[in-house]
Amino acid sequence: MTSNAYEYIPLSVPIIGVNEKKYVNECLDTNWISSAGRFPGLFEHNFAEYVKTQEAVAVQSGTAALHLCLICAGIGHGDEVMLPSLTFIAPVNAVSYTGAIPLFIDSEEESFGLSPEAIEEYVKENCDFDGSILLNRNTGRRIKAIVPVHLMGHSCRMDEIMETASKYKLTVIEDAAEAIGALYKGRQAGTIAMAGTFSFNGNKTLTTGGGGMIVSQNHELLARARHLSTQAKSDEFFYEHDATGYNYRMLNIQAAIGVAQLEQIEKMIARKRSIHLIYQEAFAKVPDITLFTEKSYCRSAYWFAQLSVPPSKRNDFIQYLAGWKIQARPFWKLNHLHPMYEQCPKGSLTHAEKLVSEGVSIPCSASMSNDDIKRVISAVSSFFS
Ligand SMILES: Cc1ncc(COP(=O)(O)O)c(C=O)c1O
């Protein structure tokens, strides 16, 4: 059978239900289409309840959420921030917006996340710690923070990262853009460190078209982030501003979609997890490939399903799936290889390099039909048999 008759299967597409349309229509019908209106506050309230924090602040994107968090954590010009080279570029850019310098640390195969051992190794080999300040001997700069990124819907090993951070007095901000609904030892990814951020970009499990959220148990931090997200306006009437602010506040229309999406988040995650289980059984019999599967301490939200394949076959495999009208893609190019970041300090990145050489993301949308799942399984199995 040729694949031409098939519909294209993308990696991750949204599910837009009845309430998304109803709530957006409410915004349109009442003229509240910008950042005022009832939905941003409601979305923040419901989101905080879902991830079990006191409060949340809704913004325009996951990148904006990270940028504000870093500023509110006191990260600025000349500081260094440890984060993985293996991630979508957004957190690296957010660090850079503040004037701080990314310090690239290796990832681990166990979670795809930042390796706690690699952080420790970098510090031991390159840094001096006087009991309060961690100094990078190679650059003469202070390392102030760690940004673990929870990739593909899985959680980093947060206990170990938090322990190291506490030992060296480093602030931790979790980037949970890809990991809404992922649990680490029963706690939501993004809620374990001082602050965490989420993305609601169109390809995320929960989408508002574009959008982001900051969560924290620290009221002052969130209040500051909220203030900065509305141009730091301190007087509504006379338009007084007490800091350099940003136009980062989430719109009513975006939040309306978010409220409706949140109503079905656990259903969407359950479907993604059941798709993953079907893949797991099918791919166990396929030679040469390994499907990443959650560890005992984590409930993965399986944003994408992630295969490891022999590096020599990776590109042909992706092309082959395209012939079946199935989207697949490699990991992102490692960030220390981009021209604007190639001068940044870094540790050994051998695990990140290995992961990139063999990683392929395949579709895992909650909206996939059983026929879609069968087609992905047939295509993957036929390439490797
Ligand atoms: C790991 C990671 N961090 C941050 C972001 C940024 O989110 P946004 O696109 O909403 O700015 C994304 C994705 O989009 C991401 O994958």
CA–CA distance from 265 to each of 17, 60, 167, 206 (Å)?
12, 20, 36, 7
The rounded Å distance from CA 349 to ligand 1 centre is 22
If pLDDT is split at 50, 70 and 90, which confidence band does 5 have? Answer: low
Measured in Å, residue 384 CA sits from the centre of ligand 1 at: 32
Q: Which amino acid is at 157?
A: R
Q: Looking at residue 1, what is its pLDDT?
A: 40
Q: Per-residue pLDDT tens for 28-57?
A: 999 999 989 999 999 999 999 999 999 999
Asked whether residue 13 is assigned to any structural domain, the reply reads no
45 and 144 belong to one structural domain: yes
Residue 77 pLDDT > 50: yes
Same domain? For 210 and 67 the reply is yes
- pTM (global) more than 0.95: yes
Specify the ligand 1 atom closest to the Cα of 203.
14
Is residue 315's pLDDT more than 60?
yes
Question: 97-120, pLDDT tens digit by residue?
Answer: 999 999 999 999 999 999 999 999
Domain boundary among 263, 285, 305: 263
| CA pair distance 23, 146, nearest whole angstrom | 38
C-alpha of residue 314 to centroid of ligand 1, in Å:
24
CATH (domain of 95): 3.40.640.10
Cβ neighbourhood burial of 231 (10 Å; 0-12, 13-18, 19+): middle
List pLDDT tens digits, range 9-28.
999 999 999 999 999 999 99
For residue 66, the ligand 1 atom closest to its alpha carbon is 4
The pLDDT tens digits for 127-165 are 999 999 999 999 999 999 999 999 999 999 999 999 999
pLDDT at 2 over 60: no
Write out residues with Cβ below 6 Å of ligand 1.
61-63, 87-88, 90-91, 149, 175, 177-178, 199, 201, 212
Q: 179, 189 in Cβ contact below 8 A?
A: yes
- The answer to whether residue 336 scores a pLDDT higher than 50 is yes
- Which among 107, 178, 303 is the best mutation to test ligand 1's pocket, defined by most ligand atoms within 8 Å of the CB? 178
Digit-coded pLDDT (tens) for 243-278: 999 999 999 999 999 999 999 999 999 999 999 999
Residue whose CB lies within 8 A of the most ligand 1 atoms, among 87, 88, 204, for a mutation test: 88
Which of 201, 332, 333 to probe ligand 1 with, by most ligand atoms within 8 A of CB? 201
Flag whether 11 is in a domain: no
Kindly state whether residues 189 and 53 are assigned to the same domain.
yes
Residue 113 contacts residue 152 (beta carbons within 8 Å): no
CA of 203 relative to ligand 1 center, distance in Å? 10
Residue 35: what pLDDT?
A: 86
Q: How far apart are CA 296 and CA 281, in angstroms?
A: 18
236 with 345, same domain: the answer is no
Q: What is the largest CA-CA distance in the chain?
A: 70
Closest CA to 91 of 149, 172, 143, 145: 149
pLDDT score of 256 = 98
Confidence of residue 3 (pLDDT cuts 50, 70, 90): very low
Best residue among 12, 60, 63 to mutate for probing ligand 1's pocket (most ligand atoms within 8 Å of CB) is 63
| Structural domain span for residue 190 | 18-263
Mean pLDDT of the chain: 96
Q: How far is the CA of 92 from the centre of ligand 1 (A)?
A: 10
Residue 1 placed within a domain: no
User: Quick check: is 2 in a domain?
Assistant: no
Return the pLDDT at 385.
87
Query: Which of 232, 263, 294 is the C-terminal boundary of a domain?
Result: 263
Pairing of strands 195-199, 212-216: antiparallel
**Are residues 273 and 202 located together in one domain of the fold?**
no
- Asked if 353 and 376 sit in the same domain, the reply is yes
Choose one of 263, 297, 332: the last residue of a domain: 263
